[in-house]
Structure 1
Amino acid sequence: MKVKLLYTPRYDMDYNTGDYLPFSTYAFIPPVGMPIVTAFLKKHGIKVEQDDLLVKTYRKDLKLLEPFQIEEKRKKFLEQGGEETLEEYGEKILKLTKVSGFDIVGFSLYEPDNPTTGIIALVLAKLIKEKYDPIIVIGGRFWGYSKEILLRSGFIDYGISHNPFTAPAELNFLKFCEAYEKGKNMEEAPGVEIATENGIKTTPTNYKEEEICHFTLPDFDGLPLDLYRYKLSCEIDGRKYVGSILVLPYFFVKGCPFKCAFCCNSILPGPILKDPEEVKADLEYLKKKYKTNNFFFLNTEINSNRKYLEKITKMLKDLDIKFSDCACFVPMDRKLLKNLKEAGAVRLMFGLESGSPRVLKYLGKNFTIPQAEKVLKEAWKIGIWSELSLICGFPYERLSDVRKTIDFLRKNKKYIKSAYINKFFLDGRIRKYPHLYGIEILEETFKPKETLKEEWRGGFNELRGLKWPERKKLTDKSFDLILESMKKLGIRRGSEVQEVLFLSTLPEWPQIVRGEVSYRAYPDFSLPS
């Protein structure tokens, strides 16, 4: 039996506006879920190959993805089982990889609210099915209405579910492959999804704890690693630097103990922490095998457990790596920041969300505004790039709260290198227990408005305040106010991990972090020579 896994291409979107974006640098970081599945299957004797059609289409010709943006073409494909232009472009995409000679072809999907994700997978599945007739499965960060349409299409046979704590996708997929090899009914394999009259049915999973491997070292073999290499040039006070960088994703923390009300992790177990010695061994192996010392850690946050962080930083101190990760303001102090710096941290992303103490209390955040300010100042002194996550539009948030966020940015702009601003959407405890947070969810607003676009930014009424139309209008206004304030204050809207890691190699890095020099960085997306 042979398996082929494909990372599905997509056209990037701004999820606050719904607009398609001309480019995304995240295409130049390898996926992590598919390499974990690949490693797990290989470990159990399954012959598997993997490829990334996202980075290949970006490098080949981004115009290959443009027709999939067109609603009329997506709708026609679903209604008639085909669409000439989409299939023509799908054939061009498939020429970038090999899909013949495999018993199972799996698509790894990302972003169910991006219509291009589902339609591209569906068109590619149709072409592969009609020409080679393998079993076709889908998995990844993809769910709901969009997934159900794919499973009903006739071109995709099964879905592979994923629960990171009780039934990880790699284990479900292994059981599926074993059922195929033994000639068993694959619909009965644990974690398999099929479409029924009542929606998606998932076969129950009852794994024992000893069956679940919570952290599998990703295997990037077979991916086009040269295509991920990110070339940059940088000018600093008349001096020019040129280089390229390969960044690998990795994580060793699952879940979060803090349970912030808006976050999906607030209704999940955790955290689960990988043994620090294993983390060190993993990173030594990845650094040597793939010849890079640059990593994008995808942990929920690196410092939810102080003692664990102290062990991790001690283990990483002599590895000579550089990394970016998420962090929380508590527990954090100068000592931990210094340990992180010595371990290789160059950028930390902090979830501030709001500068209003009232909003922070409503969300159940575990820090105070003075604590956040102190951490940002200490990180600045030590030489770590601090990036903030900001969210506006929370239930009962008002313009007075938004102004406090803007005041926070103004007061601390010296210590903030960049910030992301997003509009609130229902998730986590607020979504599951709306009555506890004084809201009424309007389920009808979650109905899809476009073909293959999962609608997860539905509405709600505040039971003691604004109705949804007014709430949405206020959220839009708040977003614009914060964004405009960031521009006036000179706070960059987000940063690219590749750029920050590259800048950290330059002799002027301490001055860059402290804002003492001006610089301009120019990415080069031409094909590597």
Structure 2
Amino acid sequence: MRPRTKLLMNIVLLVAPGLTPLIPVWALPHLSAFLKARGHRVKLLDYNAGYGIPMPHQGGLWWDLAYAEKYFSSHPETKQRLLCDILSFQPDLVGFSVFKCCAGSSMYLGRELKAMKKPPLVVFGGPQACRLPRESAFADALVPAEGEKAMLDLIDLAEKRRPWGPVPGAIMLRGAEACYGGPPEEVQDLDSLPMPDFTGVDASPYSTKMTPFSFNRGCRNKCRFCTSCSLWPGFRSHSAKRIYEEMLHLKRNHGAGHMFASCTAVNLDRGILDELCDRIIAGGEALSWEGLAVFHPGLNVPLLKKMAKAGCHYLSFGLESGSDTVLERMGKPFTAAVAAQVMRDAFAAGVDIGVNIILGFPGETEQEIEETKAFLVENNKYLFGGISYPHECGIGGRSPMCFAPEEYGVNPATLENRLSWESADGKLTHQTRLERIRSFVEWARAAGIKIQDDPIAPPDVHTDTPHDPPLYGPT
């Protein structure tokens, strides 16, 4: 890491309206601490808690720019309050953490800031950044993946210590021009990063009452439908010592009661997970936590019992299907038998679990859906958390499936957005997949399978497709 810059900057990091307040955004407190450690002044703003703005479950369609324009036009006092909260800090740079559900509100506020006489540098980061319009009217830069090192370069740009041009990990925007800086420079030693700083984050309105903590970045698996391998190509993990210290830090300094491991899976490195549990148990201070996990034979009764003793109460798994044929086509690193064994072991160890289901994977047959149903019936008693409302299989523009759709029997001409795809024979369409989901949910409820409610999901506006510009420039 470079030394702190000579000029101190005022930086606002925010989440625009539209993100249902379940758990605070993990990235902003970490980026805030990173920038403060380099001498900058940072203010965190979360417009999803405490502002009285309608959220998606209350009718707020914040993924839609037209909705944001209409709402703020009829609520000018709210618009002024949001902008004043930003501008009162006299920011040199404003960074947005953008999700699909708040894409429209982010674009609206970014455009308002950009239209000022002396605008701050506006940066869109987060999982939706690469899918937003590459227009300088909304932002000066897009940072699709890891942002620490890219942010330092953008600060240099804002300080006019470097000319406008390529920034690794960023897409620079000026007029109609987009300048690609190539893949990000990832932080290899995650332990070198400072402890997160949640100053300014009011966690009280969040319904889950969970505080996110660091664990690892990236994923060792390459599921065919997932874009993580494109955005986070390198898997890295904090040490067990650092994870434990961060959990203590969050409890003692930020009042964290129950914590959520912010990563793709807590057991991607079993050695680190095992040592973390040993440290928590030996430390004697009660910690309560949960996270995502992947089915693996190594996640057995002894380890799960140790996790329970160390305060892990719940794990969520991406099962997706109970058919080995479908799991293999998806690129999942386990079989249905392995998944069932882990579920039984978790039950025996006292760790509650839930699973996600995906329906409509290319080539999935009615018989394979019946295999998933049979799997769930057989293992229902182990599913304290039940199953998610089934997800429709989408083909993201940067997933392995999108690069070779014909290999999966998909008609490439139908890839207008991630849910528009059709099978080559025309039998599997968006509508037929929705019908499969409706029928599956009806069956699950009749069969006594605990199933979550249908989530309020935004339509696929601004989503990635194979027709999008490349993520980091021409290939």
How would you bin the TM-score normalised by the shorter chain?
Answer: 0.7 to 0.9
Task: From the superposition, tell whether residues 152 and 213 of structure 1 become closer, same or farther in structure 2 (CA, over 3 Å).
Answer: farther
* Matched-pair contact (CA < 8 Å) for 2:15–2:97: yes
Offset at residue 76 of structure 1 (A)? 7.5
Task: Kindly state the Cα deviation for residue 346 of structure 1 after the two structures are TM-superposed.
Answer: 0.7
Aligned-residue offset at 1:147: 3.4
- Please state if 1:322 is matched with 2:288: yes
- Counterpart of 1:526 in structure 2 is none
The question of whether the paired residues in 2 share the 8 Å contact of 1:251 and 1:299 is answered with yes
- Closer/same/farther in 2, CA of residues 352 and 186 from structure 1, 3 Å limit: same
Alignment pair present for 1:161 and 2:149: no
State yes or no: 1:106 paired with 2:91: no
CA distance in 2, matches of 1:458, 1:344: 42
How far, CA to CA, are the matches of 1:356 and 1:461 in structure 2? 20
Which residue is 1:176 aligned to?
A: 154
Residue type at the aligned position of 1:366 = P
Alignment correspondent of 2:120: 134
Aligned counterpart, 2:355: 388
For 1:335-484, list aligned pairs within 5 A.
Answer: 335-417=302-384, 418-420=386-388, 421-427=390-396, 428-442=399-413, 445-446=416-417, 456-462=418-424, 466-467=425-426, 470-484=428-442
2:181 corresponds to which residue?
A: 203
Matches of 1:161 and 1:271, distance apart in 2: 19
Q: Residues 69 and 299 from structure 1, CA distance in 2 versus in 1: closer, same or farther, beyond 3 angstroms?
A: closer
Shift in Å at residue 276 of structure 1? 0.8
Shift of 1:6: 1.5
Q: 1:304 aligns with which of 264, 268, 272?
A: 268
Instruction: Give, as a single letter, the amino acid of the residue that structure 1 aligns with 2:120.
Output: P
Question: Which whole-Å CA distance do the structure 2 matches of 1:262 and 1:289 have between them?
Answer: 39
Structure-2 separation of matches of 1:209 and 1:133 = 30
Q: Which residue of 1 aligns with 2:226?
A: 263
Counterpart AA for 1:461: S
Corresponding residue to 1:220 among 189, 195, 198? 198
Instruction: Give the alignment partner of residue 110 of structure 2, picking from 125, 128, 131.
Output: 125
**Letter in structure 2 aligned against 1:301:** A
**Superimposed CA distance per residue, residues 420-443 of structure 1 (whole angstroms, 9 cap, x where no aligned partner):** 121111142212233443433235
Residues 170 and 181 in structure 2, CA contact (< 8 A), matched pair in contact too = yes
> What letter corresponds to residue 99 of structure 1 in structure 2?
L
CA–CA separation in structure 2 for the residues paired with 1:5 and 1:209: 20
Pick closer, same or farther for the CA change 1:271–1:434 going to 2, 3 Å: same
- Offset, 1:300: 1.2
Matched, 1:485 2:454: no
User: Are 2:54 and 1:62 aligned?
Assistant: yes
User: What do residues 345-372 of structure 1 show as CA deviations (whole Å, max 9, x unaligned)?
Assistant: 1111111110112111212222222222
Cα distance, 1:198–1:355 mapped onto 2, change above 3 Å = farther
1:7 aligns with 2:1: no
Tell me, in whole angstroms, the C-alpha distance in 1 between the residues paired with 2:237 and 2:280: 15
8 Å CA contact 1:91–1:127 kept in 2: the answer is no
Instruction: Give the alignment of 1:225-236 within 5 angstroms.
Output: 225-228=203-206, 230=207
- Paired letter, 2:262: L
Q: Which residue of 1 aligns with 2:73?
A: 84
1:259 CA drift (Å):
1.9
**Aligned counterpart in structure 1 of residue 238 of structure 2, from 263, 274, 278:** 274
Q: Does structure 2 conserve the Cα–Cα contact (< 8 Å) formed by 1:90 and 1:123?
A: no
User: Alpha-carbon deviation of 1:404?
Assistant: 1.3
Conservation of the 8 A alpha-carbon contact between 2:360 and 2:428:
no
Instruction: Supply the distance in 2 between the matched residues of 1:271 and 1:210 (Cα, whole angstroms).
Output: 9
Per-residue deviation, 1:258: 2.8
Matched with 2:469 is: none
Paired residues of 1:215 and 1:252 also in contact (CA < 8 A): no
Alpha carbons of 1:444 and 1:200: their partners in 2 closer, same or farther (altered >3 Å)? farther
Please state how far the C-alpha of 1:322 moved relative to its aligned partner: 1.1
Q: What is the deviation of 1:169? A: 0.8
Establish whether residue 251 from structure 1 lines up as the match of residue 214 from structure 2: yes
Give the aligned length: 435
Offset at residue 415 of structure 1 (A): 1.0
Letter in 1 for 2:90: F
* TM-score normalised by length of structure 1: 0.73
Aligned equivalents of 1:300, 1:176: Cα separation in 2: 28
Cα distance change of structure 1 residues 212 and 294 upon mapping to structure 2, 3 Å threshold: closer
Shift of residue 83 of structure 1?
Answer: 7.6
Name which of 124, 129, 145 aligns with 1:143: 129
Q: Deviations over 1:113-160 (max 9, x none)?
A: x4xx23322332344443873332222222355332xx342xx34124
Q: What is the Cα-based RMSD across aligned positions, in Å?
A: 3.2
Q: Deviations over 1:408-460 (max 9, x none)?
A: 111211111221121111142212233443433235523xxxxxxxxx32314
1:140-190 Cα deviation digits (max 9, x unpaired)? 222355332xx342xx34124143xxxx21221122113323543344544
Q: Secondary structure at the match of 1:30?
A: coil
Letter in 2 for 1:257: R
Of the structure 1 ranges 352-361 and 66-75, higher mean CA displacement relative to structure 2 is found in 66-75
CA distance in 2, matches of 1:70, 1:297: 26
Structure 1 runs not aligned, ≥5 long: 13-23, 231-244, 447-455, 496-529
Following superposition, the deviation at residue 53 of structure 1 comes to 0.9
Identity %: 21
Kept in 1: contact 2:343–2:353 (CA 8 A): yes
Give 1 or 2: higher helix fraction. 1
SS across alignment from 1:332: coil
Cα shift readout 1:170-216 (whole Å, capped 9, x = no counterpart): 22112211332354334454444334687743234674877987855
> 2: distance between equivalents of 1:196 and 1:380?
55
Whole-Å Cα distance in 2 between the matches of residues 402 and 445 of structure 1? 26
Alpha-carbon distance between aligned partners in 1 of 2:193 and 2:28, rounded to the nearest angstrom: 13
Cα distance change, pair 378–170 in 1 and its aligned pair in 2 (3 A)? same
